Amino acid sequence: MTKLSVNINKLATLRNARGGNMPNLVQAAKDIQEFGAQGITVHPRPDERHIRYQDAYDLKAEVYTEYNIEGNPIEKFVNMVLEIKPTQVTLVPDAVDAITSDAGWDTITHKVFLQEVISEFKRNEIRTSIFVDPVPEMIEGAAATGTDRIELYTEEFAHQYALGNLNGVDPYTESAILAHQLGMGVNAGHDLSLDNIRFFKENVPHLLEVSIGHALICEAIYSGLQPVIQEYLMKLDL
Give the pLDDT score at 110. 96
Q: What is the pTM of this model?
A: 0.94
Give the pLDDT score at 50. 94
- pLDDT > 70? residue 99: no
- pLDDT > 80? residue 100: no
Give the pLDDT score at 94. 78
- Whether 110 is a known active-site residue: answer no
pLDDT digits (tens, 9 = 90+) for 5-47: 999 999 999 999 998 999 999 999 999 999 999 999 999 998 9
- Domain of 149: which CATH number? 3.20.20.70
pLDDT digits (tens, 9 = 90+) for 118-158: 999 999 999 999 999 999 999 999 999 999 999 999 999 99
pLDDT digits (tens, 9 = 90+) for 170-185: 999 999 999 999 999 9
Q: Look up the domain containing 166 and give its range.
A: 3-236
Tell me which residue of 42, 44, 46, 50 sits closest to 14, measured CA to CA.
50
- Residue 4 CA to residue 1 CA, distance in Å, equals 9
Catalytic residue among 66, 70, 209, 219: 70
Give the pLDDT score at 97. 57
- pLDDT > 70? residue 102: no
Q: Name the more confident of 95 and 53.
A: 53
Give the pLDDT score at 15. 97
- Complete DSSP assignment for 137-176: HHHHHHHHHT-SEEEEE-HHHHHHHHTT-GGGGHHHHHHH
- Whether 70 is a known active-site residue: answer yes
Strand runs (DSSP E) across the chain, as ranges? 3-7, 39-42, 66-71, 88-91, 127-132, 149-153, 185-189, 207-212
Under the banding of pLDDT at 50, 70 and 90, the label for residue 96 is: low
Helix axis angle for 136-145 and 170-181, nearest 10°, is: 30
- pLDDT > 60? residue 98: no
Q: Rg of the chain over CA atoms, in angstroms? A: 17
Give the pLDDT score at 103. 80
- Whether 190 is a known active-site residue: answer yes
* Overall number of domains in the chain: 1
Give the pLDDT score at 1. 85
Catalytic residue among 66, 151, 190, 219: 190
